[in-house]
Amino acid sequence: MLHLKRQLPYRPTERMNVVSYPIRDIVMEAKREEAKGKKMIYLNIGDPPQYGFQSFKVIADRVKSALDENWQGYAPSEGDDQFRMTVAKIEKCRPEDVFAVAGLTEGIDFFFHSFIGFGEKVLLPNPVYPLYLSKAKQFEGDSVFYRHDANGQIDIEYLAKKVEGAKAMVIINPNNPLGSVYSEKNLSEVVKICAEYDVPIFYDGSYDRLILEGRYIDFRKIARGKVPFIYGSSLSKDFSYPGARIGWVAFHGDKWSELKNAFFLLCNQRLSVNWEYQKAAAAAIVDPSYLTYITDMKDKLLQRRNTFVKMAEKLPLSFPVPKGAFYAFIKIETRKWKKDIEFVRAALKEGVVFVPGSGFGRQEDGVYFRTTFLPEPKIIEEAFAKIKRIL
């Protein structure tokens, strides 16, 4: 028998070329600098526990008791009954409209997998959380971008020109990376346009409760009965527990029956989401002590945001002041830097890790980078003092 000798090293497939996650990809370079003895300040990732934020304690407590109760098997693929019922109450939909996912990351993956076909147009914000870019490429959709005005609101006139023929529109609110929080008026206008052109909405509410200025607006109330939408959220940010890997998507409106079947198939394929964490999520999202928890978290965040703004405003940088979540998307206002990655690498040499703006799909009109303002004020001050040297 003829044995062909394969060429080594083994090479990944062509389809790997579309896979990227710039928020973490930059860490490899940072680690190389760290290995040389450089102290690094990581401002690349929105991971609250890394910066001293305590996860909502009810989750860990309930995980422990759920393990004692032996919730260690495969959970139902679509999610634990109690979890789905609890989420359904918040969503004001039926439990069968809710799916448990391993972080909203998985919900986004399933959404693109099941709904966005080859060449189909999906409307994304620009700048956008990078996973959406990667998923649109992986499933060969056609990403079309809408933009924001100087106040970080969705530019309605521009959207109206882009919306026709879209299979879906993605809204991230509060927004990562901009930190903007859309007003009720802005969201109502978006819903009106989507209803007119029959474009359903995928609403990413990962940072729902993290509104630092202004009040929480329930998108479901604005959109219900006007346009079909899918609402997604998770425990990662609002409950400071990204490691739980628990989130949900809820289908709203009566046009989703086939898509829900598709979601079932995708859920079956990956068997289940950790059962003990679903039990914990069901307890956490309706626990009355959450109000105090989230108020404390927002107070801390506001203080950190204010320090960040004070530091950054002294430098040749411009950005919409973040009103929600914990990021800022910053434009460099000097001519020194022509490429974001060159600036980000220079910042690495100074010991600060940012994400290049192009990772969020933004590069045409300047040099941008994204930072988080999660660390305590003295670390933010230290980081911005360091980059002052290279601007």
Give the Cα separation of 24 and 46 in Å (integer): 11
Q: Kindly tell me the burial class for residue 325, based on how many C-beta atoms sit within 10 Å of its own C-beta (0-12, 13-18, 19 or more).
A: buried
Identify whether the C-beta of residue 181 lies closer than 8 Å to the C-beta of residue 323: yes
Residue 46 within binding range of ligand PLP, rule CB under 6 A: yes
Surface-to-core class of residue 221, CB atoms within 10 Å of its CB (0-12 exposed, 13-18 middle, 19+ buried): exposed
Q: Is residue 178 a contact residue for ligand PLP (CB under 6 A)?
A: no
Give whichever of 22 and 103 is closer to ligand PLP, judged by the CB atom: 103
285 binds ligand PLP (CB under 6 A): no
**Least distance in angstroms from the C-beta of 202 to ligand PLP:** 10
Does 242 help bind ligand PLP (rule: CB under 6 A)?
yes
Contact predicate 377/338, CB 8 Å: no
Nearest approach in angstroms of CB 215 to ligand PLP is 20
Among 77, 206, 272, 274, binds ligand PLP (CB under 6 A): 206
Q: What is the Rg, in whole angstroms, of the alpha carbon atoms belonging to the chain?
A: 21
Is residue 371 a contact point for ligand PLP (CB under 6 A)?
no
Count Cβ atoms below 10 Å from residue 31 Cβ, excluding itself: 11
Q: Supply the DSSP string of 74-128, one letter for each residue.
A: PPPTT--HHHHHHHHHHHTS-GGGEEEESHHHHHHHHHHHHH--TT-EEEEESS-
Q: Binding to ligand PLP by residue 172, rule CB under 6 A?
A: yes
Query: How many residues bind ligand PLP, per CB under 6 A?
Result: 13
Which of 134, 234, 272, 278 binds ligand PLP (CB under 6 A)? It is 234
**236 belongs to the binding site for ligand PLP (CB under 6 A):** yes
Rule CB under 6 A: say whether 201 interacts with ligand PLP.
Answer: no
Least separation in angstroms between CB 234 and ligand PLP: 3
Closest contact distance (angstroms) between CB of 109 and ligand PLP is: 9
The token duo for 299 is 């107070």
Percent of residues in the chain assigned helix, strand, coil, to nearest 5: 45, 15, 40
Q: How many other CB atoms are found less than 10 A from the CB of residue 270?
A: 13
Residues in region 55-94 near ligand PLP by CB under 6 A: none
Residue whose CB is less far from ligand PLP, 281 or 311: 281
Q: Who contacts 258 (Cβ-Cβ below 8 Å, separation ≥6)? A: none
Q: Which listed residue (71, 99, 111, 129) binds ligand PLP by CB under 6 A? A: 129
Does 328 contact ligand PLP by CB under 6 A?
A: no
What single string gives the DSSP state of each residue in 335-360?
A: SS-S-HHHHHHHHHHHTEE-EEGGGG
- Identify the residue among 44, 173, 176, 358 touching ligand PLP (CB under 6 A): 176
Find the binding residues for ligand PLP in span 92-111 (CB under 6 A).
103-105
The residues of the shown chain that bind ligand PLP, judged by CB under 6 A, are 46, 103-105, 129, 172, 176, 204, 206, 234, 236, 242, 247
